[in-house]
Amino acid sequence: MAAENRSAARLAAAQALYQMELTGKGLNEIFAEFETWWIGREVEGEQYKPAEIAFFRSIVAGVLENQVEIDRAVDRTLAEGWPLRRVEALMRAILRAGAFELMRRADIPARVAIKEYVDVAGAFFARDEAGMINAVLDALARKCRAEEFSA
């Protein structure tokens, strides 16, 4: 159950980051909105799973606190000529959330974080886009968590 709640938190975090970028809403407003109306609720016929709220908040706040560093790291990892700002907004949110976990949450195995965000991408995008998320996060993980891949 805990893993499902973390997966739901990652999905909600990516959606919250996306919505913040589109609407300009602030952190407290987005927390209140998601925790009141989205997480664990039925929205437009879709049932949203309960999420680990503290983990959801950690990801969203962590991305905002470290966004400059995260964006630079993702930019360096993306293919030449494709800066993060040219990536579709929801993909950008997923990459930022994944990069945050890889860069700042050493308690979460890199492969787990990558798989989880590939799954989030798969909920919204076709295989090619999910594959791009996988490739970027894998490359980033191999830079910032090389010790996990050397064995």
Q: Sorting pLDDT into bands at 50, 70 and 90, what band is 22?
A: very high
Please report which helix (H) or strand (E) contains residue 43, including its range. strand 42-43
Kindly list the domain boundaries of the chain, sorted by start residue: 2-149
pLDDT surpasses 90 at 20: yes
Whether 8 contacts 39, CB under 8 Å: yes
Give me the CATH topology for the region 2-149.
N-utilizing Substance Protein B Homolog; Chain A (1.10.940)
Q: Please name the residues in contact with 109: beta carbons below 8 A apart, sequence gap of 6 or more.
A: 148
Length of the chain (residues): 151
Residues 44-90 have pLDDT tens digits of: 777 777 889 999 999 999 999 999 999 999 999 986 667 777 889 99
Whether 100 contacts 63, CB under 8 Å: yes
